């Protein structure tokens, strides 16, 4: 596996995602306890941690699918949590890929991609069709454009979902366990698409259990447990020389598999 060396310049630019002091409670349960996360342009940040650690909730806060109880989130300079922000306008700059794909079952692959192009970006039909075709080509599904989700494998469905997000040319992409619902033999195709995106310079935040992918492609790995960010650093350090006891236990457990 190859990946470009993280450019020193990337670290110097201002963060494209800047979340501070995020709190989130679900009833009696506190899922996020003042978490900070900043992501630089062209950076790939990987979030790992045991289930229930709050990593998915953190990710879903970053486009306000979850409403944090406290804190602030800036994406591309826009304060997401401000009442004045047009959240729909902001969201088209933030792509999201879900564990369960969530393709629209009543639309073909191309229609799935076109919907937001037409209705959010207000593109003409021809323009949207072309953009959708390009996005589907990028994920290797040009031939399956007119298939319905039910006619596609899980891996293909997830690639359509990625195309649906990238067609809007987002500034950052969020991946919420994108391969967890897939049969093992289908995981590779999705990871290949993500790797290409990364090489094209897409800023990405990924919640996933694909540790090999994290080691190979991530610029930075964040370890979360019990609603807190316990440590973060380059993959080599987090996987090779974790500082925190919880991290060490987690990595050991993962390695045993």
Which of residues 119 and 244 has its CB atom nearest to other proteins in the complex?
Answer: 119
Question: Considering beta carbons, is residue 63 or 203 the nearer one to other proteins?
Answer: 63
With 0-12 / 13-18 / 19 or more C-beta atoms within 10 angstroms meaning exposed / middle / buried, residue 40 is: buried
Q: Which residues of 196-231 are buried (b: 16+ CB within 10 A; e: fewer)?
A: ebbeeebbbbbbbebbebbbebbbbbbbbbebebbb
Q: By C-beta, is 96 or 211 nearer to other proteins?
A: 96
Q: Which of 75, 111, 110, 81 is nearest to 95 (CA)?
A: 75
Interatomic CA distance for residues 48 and 189, integer angstroms: 21
| Min CB(211)–other proteins separation in Å | 25
Q: Between 47 and 168, whose beta carbon lies closer to other proteins?
A: 168
Q: How far is the CB of 239 from other proteins (least distance, A)?
A: 30
- Min dist. Cβ of residue 109 to other proteins (A): 14
Is 35:207 a contact under the CB 8 Å cutoff? no
Interface ranges with other proteins (CB under 8 A): 63, 65, 88-92, 94-96, 98, 100, 102-106, 115-116, 119-120, 150, 161, 164-165, 168
* DSSP 8-state assignment for residue 72: E
Instruction: Please identify, using beta-carbon distances, which residue of 202 and 211 lies nearer to other proteins.
Output: 202
For the chain, helix, strand, coil in percent to 5 are: 40, 25, 35
Cβ-based nearer residue to other proteins, 62 or 191: 62
Maximal C-alpha separation, the chain = 56
Q: What distances in angstroms separate CA 13 from CA 8, 40, 45, 73, 221, one per listed residue?
A: 10, 7, 15, 17, 19
What's the rounded Cα separation, in Å, for the pair 30 and 32? 6
């Amino acid at each position: 596996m190859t990946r470009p060396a993280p450019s020193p310049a990337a670290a110097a630019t201002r963060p494209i995602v800047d979340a501070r002091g995020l709190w989130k409670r679900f009833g009696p349960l506190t899922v996020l306890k003042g978490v900070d996360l900043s992501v630089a342009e062209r950076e790939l940040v990987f979030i790992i941690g045991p289930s229930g650690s709050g990593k998915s909730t953190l990710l879903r806060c970053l486009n306000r699918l979850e409403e944090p109880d406290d804190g602030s989130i800036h994406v591309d300079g826009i304060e997401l949590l401000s009442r004045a922000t047009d959240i729909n306008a902001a969201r088209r700059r933030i792509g999201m890929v879900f564990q369960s794909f969530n393709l629209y079952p009543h639309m073909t692959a191309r229609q799935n991609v076109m919907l937001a192009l037409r209705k959010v970006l207000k593109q003409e039909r021809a323009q949207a069709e072309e953009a959708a075709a390009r996005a589907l080509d990028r994920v290797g599904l040009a031939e399956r454009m007119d298939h319905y989700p039910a006619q596609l494998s899980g891996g293909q469905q997830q690639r359509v979902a990625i195309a649906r997000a990238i067609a809007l040319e987002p500034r950052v992409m969020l991946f919420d366990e994108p391969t967890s619902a897939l049969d093992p033999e289908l995981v590779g195709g999705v990871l290949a698409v993500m790797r290409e995106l990364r090489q094209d310079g897409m800023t990405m935040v990924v919640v996933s259990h694909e540790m090999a992918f994290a080691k190979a492609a991530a610029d930075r790995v964040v370890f979360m447990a019990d609603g807190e960010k316990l440590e973060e650093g380059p993959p080599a350090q987090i996987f090779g020389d974790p500082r925190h006891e919880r991290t060490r236990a987690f990595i050991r457990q993962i390695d045993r598999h």
